Amino acid sequence: MSSRRFPKQIIDAVRDAKILGIRAGTKRHRVIGIWAVVVEGRVFVRSYTLKPRSWYRAFLDEPRGMIEVNGKEIKVRPVFTRSERLKKLVDRAYAEKFPTPGSRVFVEGFKEEKRRDTTTELVPL
């Protein structure tokens, strides 16, 4: 766990937003939108597609990046989560934040082990 935390207004914005803009690594490429949740005042994300050129794999290679929140770019680093307790809380947070029938397939998909294993906390640099 990082001693650095996002300010409350950033946490609130991530909690309220359906999509979080993210760019992993330091190479210039487009910002993509992903689902993020807040658990215990911390920002968590999971990779759904697990593609070779995904944000998750980029973070594995180069653990720095940025998120876009309320039009601001915030530099971040990933903290890869191994805690089963936190993974369960993230499961629940995704289900609560994305309750629509159209979201259900993704929420259930995020519970699959290969995707749960990508649970990543984003912390400010």
Which fold is adopted by the domain 8-124? Pnp Oxidase; Chain A (2.30.110)
CA 55 vs CA 18, 21, 45, 82: distances in Å: 18, 11, 10, 18
Mean pLDDT over each residue of the chain, to the nearest integer: 94
Helix (H, G, I), strand (E, B) or coil at 100: coil
Is the predicted pLDDT of residue 84 greater than 60, yes or no? yes
**Model pTM score:** 0.94
Which positions ≥6 away from 43 have C-beta within 8 Å?
6, 11, 14, 20, 36, 37, 67, 121, 122, 123
Using only C-alpha atoms, the chain has a radius of gyration, in whole angstroms, of: 13
Walk across the sheet containing 42-45 and list its strands: 32-34, 20-24, 65-69, 72-80, 120-124, 42-45, 36-39
What's the pLDDT at 28?
Answer: 79
| Pair type for strands 65-69 and 42-45 | unpaired
Q: Per-domain residue ranges for the chain?
A: 8-124
CA 32 vs CA 41, 45, 68: distances in Å: 23, 13, 10
Using one digit for the tens of pLDDT, what is the confidence trace for 29-75? 889 999 999 999 999 999 999 898 899 999 999 999 999 998 999 99
What's the pLDDT at 1?
Answer: 42
Write down the H helix ranges in 47-100: 55-61, 84-97
- Model confidence at 2, pLDDT cuts 50, 70, 90, reads very low
